[in-house]
Every structure is written in C-alpha cells, then in structure tokens.
Amino acid sequence: MKRRGGVGHDLSHIRPKGSPVKNSALSSTGLVPFMERYSNSTREVAQDGRRGALMLSVSVRHPDAGDFINAKLEEGKVTGANISVRIDDAFMQAVENDAPYTQQFPIDSPAPKFTRTIRARELWNTIVHNAWKSAEPGILFWDTILRESLPDCYADLGYQTLSTNPCGEIPLCPYDSCRLLAINLLSYVTAPFTPEARFDFALFREHVAHAQRLMDDIIDLELEKVEAILHKIASDPEQDETKRVELRMWQQIRTKASEGRRTGIGITAEGDMLAALGLRYGTPEARDFSVKVHKTLALEAYRGSVTTARERGAFPIFDARREEANPFMLRLKEADEQLYYEMLEFGRRNIALLTIAPTGTTSLMTQTTSGIEPVFLPVYKRRRKVNPSDRGVRIDYTDEVGDAWEEYRVFHHAFKTWMAANGHDPAADYTPEQIDALVARSPYHKATSNDVDWLNKVRLQGAVQQWVDHSISVTINLPGDVSEDLVGTLYLEAWKSGCKGVTVYRDGSRSGVLIADSKTDGAATLTPFPTTRPEVLEADVVRFQNNREKWIAFIGLIDRQPYEIFTGLADDEDGILLPCWVENGLIIKNRQENGPSRYDFQYENSRGYKTTIEGLSHKFNPEYWNYAKLISGTMRHGMPILKLVDLIQSLHLDSEQISTWKNGVVRALKRYIEDGTAVKGQQCEQCQSENLVFQEGCLTCQDCGSSKCG
C-alpha cells in the first residue's frame, strides 16, 4: 500500500474465536480484531493523499463467518475495507433445501480440529439482511471461481486462488497482480443512435489483438519497476533482518509476474453501446448481443496471446494437459478449434487474460457509462454558486447560510449524441416535462441503474461471465423501498446464472455512497452533550505531522462524537511516549484539591495490563493548549463537526507552526464528520462538480468518484 497498491486478504486461515493457543492469551480472539487491524492499517498508510484499498474475505465454512458478516454493522468499524464471503456450492444447496451445513477449522482439512453444524438458511438470511441494510458483505461464489479458473490448473505451483483484488474483478493467487485495460465499446458503433447503427466487429477484433500485445508489454514495464523497488530496498540503510519481509514480498511479486504474465483486458461503455445500437439494457435482445461481443473479445484476446507466444514464448509454466478439462478452455475449444490447436502447438503468452472492472475514472475520461453497468441517469442537475449582485444571474436555490446557487442541467454525453442524431438541440432550454418526454423516446428509457430489470441484469452478468476468465465487478443498484427477499432472490439467481461474485446497493442503505435526494447539509441539530463533563471518556488516538514533528491527538468521545481534544508531541523526552499500536483508551479527569483538574490517558495491552499517561494538558506548549481548550469548548456545546472544521480552517494565524498544527487537528476531526454530509461552495478538482460529500474523512465527488483526503 505504501507504493499505492491495493490488497486482497483472505482470513480463512485464522483460528476461530476461543481456539486454544500456546501463549499467555490462552485462546484466540477470532477474526474480527484482525479485520479491524488490517482495516486501520489501510486507513493509516497513504501516499500523496491516496490511501490503500483492501478486500477482506472469509470462507462461509469458517466457524467465525457469522462474526465476519456482522463486523461492519457497528458504525465506525472496519471502514477501511470491503468485505466479501466466499460461498461454496454445498452451502447454496443447503440454503435451497433448508438443510444443515457444517463449518470447520481448518476449513479444507479432511480431519478438522473443530466442527459445528448450523442452519444454512439462517446464516444466509443474515448475509442478505446485512447486504440489504448496509450494502455488505458481497458474495464470492467460490466453487464457480475455482472451477472456471485457468490459473488454478497450476495450483500446486503456487497459483491457487485465495482472494480477489479490492473491487473483486480479478481472483488472485498470493503475490500476483491485477493489470487492467479497458476497451471503449461505444467507439465501435458506427452511425450511433440511427437506424443504420452497427457494431464494427472487424475493427474490434483488430484492436483486441493490439490490446493483448500492449498488456503483455505492460508486464515487462512492471517487472522493470519491481526491479527498481528491489534495488531501492537493498540500498536502504536498514539492517537486512528489518528489510527481509518486504524484500521477500517483492521477490515473490516478481516471480508471479514473470511466470504467469497475467493480464486483464476489459471493457467500458457497455450501456452506451447497447443504447447506440437501439437495444435496451436488460432485455433478452441486449443480453444476446452483449454475449456476442464478449465472446468475440475472449477469442481474439486468446488468439493474440497465442500469436505473441509464437514470437516471444509461452508463459514459463504453460502446460496444455493441465488445462484440457477446464470449462472455460472447453468453451474456447468449442467456439474455435483452430485457435485451440494453435494453442497446443505454440502455447499461450499469459496464464489468464480477461476481466471487467468498474472503470470509474476511465469512464469519466471517455464520457461513457462505466464497465458493464447501465447509465446512472441520462439527465441530472448540478448547482454552481453565484453572486446575486451580478447582472443577469439566475438564483434557483439559497442555502441555510444565505449563499445563492444557480441550477443547471447536465446531459449524459451519449444522450446528447442521441438527441442530435434524432433532431433535438442539446443546447435548447427544455422544461422538465419535455426532458421526461425525450428520455421516454430514447433507448435509455427504463434502462438506468435504478429501473432496469434486476433479475435480467444478473442474468446478463452470468451470461457474459461465460466468456470472462477472471471475474466481473458489478453492483446491482436498487431503490430504497425494495424488500430483503428481493436481495436474496438476486443473490440466488446470481449463483444459478454462473456469476462469480455479486454486490447489491440499496439506495440510502449506506452513508457516504450515492444517495438519492436525501443528503444532509451539515446543519444538523446540536449534539445533546451532558452539562457536566463525565469523569471518564472513551478516547481515540490520532497521529499527525506538525511541521516535521510527530504529534498525537487524544479525542474524547461521547456516543462516538468528539467532546474534547488534547494534542502533544510524540516520542520525545518532553512529549508523550505511546506505543504505535495504541488506537484508543480512556481520558480520566482527576480532580485535585489544589490547582486545576488533571486529565490522564489510560490504555491497556492485550494481556489486560493498564498504563496511564498523566497530565495530558502539561504535555504541550501553552499556546497549543489554549487553542485546544477553545476547540474543546466549542465541541462541548455541540457544534456540528463540519461547522467546527470550517471554523478552525478559517482561523488566520501568524505562526506557521500553529497553522500546521491547526491543519493536523482539522484532519483528525474530519474523521468524525458523518459520512454523506454534503459540502457547499466547493468544486471537485477533477470534474468541477459541486456535488461533494464527506466519506470516511475524505471529500468525495458523487459525480465522478474522485476523493481528496487531508
């Protein structure tokens, strides 16, 4: 992550809660503490404002799977990771038949040390409820993944699939990488949105071959960068033992890249392509055409890999006999026997080749729909701040602080193309009724993410998955009023349709994600804090940089809301000595007979041993202490955190060091701004949208998805 990568990590190897261990702890803590540790590490490691990305998974066969599934229900827990459950066919069959299911540890052992029989449908209902309520966990149909996986034909050589990348589109073995390239499907539609529209398959085949060769070149470039990283690690001044783990990791990454040469060609603009051809997303006709496109993509990508192998050699561990019974390979053979026999003769350059990623940023660059998804909305509104005194300005909205805003309509780029192709002026001033009428006549009608036929969308994913050797990252967007039963039906249909994974998002089910027409504006009512400061407060520990010094903030909490803040130097003879693993504890107010009250911080280690740091207020420069008292006093009177952050940021301080400290305090407090809180008066640096909200302490654009932290 410190090199700006994401990580997939499976926890199925961790002992279940209560397992005996041969140390002073006596028994294992189970999965959840590890989930929190990995999640917090992801949030803490950042480069240039970009944090790491993490996928945590566990097998449904693990005895702690229920705890894993419920771990994110408590607000503020495991916020730095996506979570997915690896579900096998036996569990799904037990769900269908309302039959018992056996969990065990180790999960794949023929002689497990621990077993437990559960009602599969009860655990299934928990998964469905949590997905309906909070959009997690996602599901990975693990037997389908392993059965279809070409890399798993080489499992004994280190290519056994264990988890996925953070968005789930590439199941991976240890130390392997996801390499992504997306082809814009809309660009192959000639005469789009007209009766003469057609898909240029000849040009598409040609470009897929070029794309596969380009992807193979990217692996060589990656290997050059890995060599540079290894050289840097070797030249760093730390002792060899200190560097051992990181060095070995990058050596393993190099091995997997050079042996398997895994690639990930995908697509974007599927929704726009179908609309441009006059096909409505989600219909059987559209599904059949999508399958034809993806079948072509698969055949030409594999043909390109065989051609490259003829020139450059196959990936080093290629063995056709290992793959001859693989279902995906058998489909390729049935579709194109000549390609299959050329592969037997010359080999293949890459162990696996295809995927469909979310392509959020890529779709913004191409101004198209994202990945395999339908259009989100063909027409929507944005706002821009205006000066009421300017001549000719139109004021459509005035916010709670009196700022004036003008609303303006935004057309999805391809929808404007449809308008122009059908005699409608995209620059004209249409009434809402006229816009509705235009959308109703367009191929985008009833084809947006919220109103497609969801079962047909799942079936589209399953049908396309037959021609994608890795996986497909798809989210089923649902209106807020759908039932839990529908979520269960969609998950079950995804398994039956041959999907490798599936995630749902019900509108409004999770703060910090796109929410229709129900955003908070940050002007919430004041927090009802007690009038007298409690003797003991729960507290979070937040570390930050003050100029070039390391500082610590102790944030006292009531109902997980900031009530007070203390800051001090870290790891200094005159500062606060606190182990790096301490993230929370208690702030205790000690009343003294002579002099002011003293505030102490107390924490405990894994053995329950408590340590107290006395006199937090004595640990800093009086000037910092006075500012902290001012901020704490404002918090104690219940000012919303967003307003408090704005107040602190508006302070004009002469001292550069104080300003740096101020920025650190702001960064610490932003963690507590409620996810989904809207921000007015600022624009996204990427797309200039003013549709910004806070998500996990970062300012996130709801239109393009870009995020700015700090």
Q: Domain segments of the chain: what residues?
A: 6-154, 175-346, 536-670
Q: What percent of the chain has pLDDT over 70?
A: 87
Check whether 191 has a pLDDT greater than 90: yes
Check whether 581 has a pLDDT greater than 90: no
Q: Are 355 and 468 in contact (CB under 8 A)?
A: yes
H helices of 391-482, in order, are 413-421, 432-441, 454-465
Check whether 332 has a pLDDT greater than 90: yes
Task: Record the tokens describing residue 491, joined without a space.
Answer: 């998950």
Annotate 48-77 with DSSP letters as a single string: TTEEPEEEEEEETTSTTHHHHHHTTSSTTS
Check whether 520 has a pLDDT greater than 50: no
Check whether 499 has a pLDDT greater than 50: yes
Candidate from 30-34, 530-534, 699-703 with smallest mean pLDDT: 699-703
With tokens 């040609």, the residue in question is 206
- Specify the amino acid at residue 284: P
Check whether 193 has a pLDDT greater than 60: yes
Q: Render pLDDT for 654-679 as a digit per residue (tens, 0 to 9).
A: 555 555 777 788 888 888 887 667 77
Check whether 449 has a pLDDT greater than 90: no
Confidence label for 406 from pLDDT (cuts 50, 70 and 90): confident
- Specify the amino acid at residue 365: M
Picking from 10, 178, 5, 34, the residue whose alpha carbon sits closest to that of residue 83 is 10
Check whether 574 has a pLDDT greater than 50: yes
Helix 327-335 with 284-312: angle, nearest 10 deg: 90
Q: Render pLDDT for 12-22 as a digit per residue (tens, 0 to 9).
A: 999 998 887 77
Picking from 632, 646, 611, the residue whose alpha carbon sits closest to that of residue 567 is 632
**Rounded to an integer, what distance in angstroms lies between the CA atom of residue 661 and that of residue 549?**
10
65-72 average pLDDT score: 92
Please provide the average confidence, as pLDDT, over all residues in the chain.
86
**Angle subtended at Cα 179 by Cα 173 and Cα 180, rounded to the nearest 5 degrees:** 130
- DSSP class of residue 509 equals S
The whole-number pLDDT of residue 688 equals 64
Check whether 511 has a pLDDT greater than 60: no
Check whether 421 has a pLDDT greater than 80: yes
More confident residue, 590 or 371: 371
CB atoms within 10 A of CB 119: 14
Task: Record the tokens describing residue 540, joined without a space.
Answer: 């979070």
The whole-number pLDDT of residue 559 equals 79
Q: Render pLDDT for 229-283 as a digit per residue (tens, 0 to 9).
A: 999 999 999 999 989 999 999 999 999 999 999 999 999 999 999 999 999 998 9
Q: Render pLDDT for 296-324 as a digit per residue (tens, 0 to 9).
A: 999 999 999 999 999 999 999 999 999 99
- Specify the amino acid at residue 581: W
The whole-number pLDDT of residue 679 equals 73
What's the longest Cα–Cα distance across the chain?
Answer: 92
Reduce the DSSP state of residue 676 to 3 states and report it: coil
Picking from 137, 40, 131, the residue whose alpha carbon sits closest to that of residue 79 is 40
Confidence label for 525 from pLDDT (cuts 50, 70 and 90): very low
Reduce the DSSP state of residue 104 to 3 states and report it: strand
Check whether 708 has a pLDDT greater than 80: no
Q: Are 325 and 318 in contact (CB under 8 A)?
A: no
679-700 average pLDDT score: 69
Picking from 330, 324, 334, 329, the residue whose alpha carbon sits closest to that of residue 352 is 329
